[in-house]
Amino acid sequence: MFEVCLNCIDESTETGTKRKWTLFSLIGFAVVTAILSCTVRQFNNAAGMNVALAGGAFILLSIIAKVSGVAAALSSVAASGGLEGESVAVIVKAIGIAYTTQIAAALCRGISERRHLP
């Protein structure tokens, strides 16, 4: 299991290079989708929103397909540590709530800073 994680980070392995290319291709797709959405939105607001939603849905589905390996690794680590599935689910939910709260707080700080700019 740990070998798989090291191969993802190692740049010299074939799987590491392939995974990095997948990440960069998703980032490139997101940038192109954002630019296309902003361009289309100037002419038709609804169509621009549809482009953004379609791009976001594609990226989300691409990421969800790759998360299954992380879930399997997490469950095997939990099993080797003697944790039950319910305990791991609670820990993952708590981490998710913490990240969501942190992102929301950063967004609120950014909005309040923009409000005070001249």
Q: Within a 13 Å sphere around the CA of 112, how many CA atoms are in the beta-carbon half?
A: 6
Confidence of residue 2 (pLDDT cuts 50, 70, 90): very low
Of 49-53, 76-80, 83-87, give the lowest mean pLDDT range: 83-87
Distance separating alpha carbons of residues 79 and 101, to the nearest angstrom: 29
Residue 66 confidence (pLDDT): 75
Distance separating alpha carbons of residues 27 and 22, to the nearest angstrom: 9
Helix (H, G, I), strand (E, B) or coil at 112: helix
Residue 63 confidence (pLDDT): 83
The distance in angstroms from the start CA to the end CA of the chain is 54
Q: Which residues contact 21 (CB under 8 A, 6 or more apart)?
A: none
Highest mean pLDDT among 3-12, 35-44, 81-90: 35-44
Residue 96 confidence (pLDDT): 86
State the average pLDDT over residues 69-73.
Answer: 78
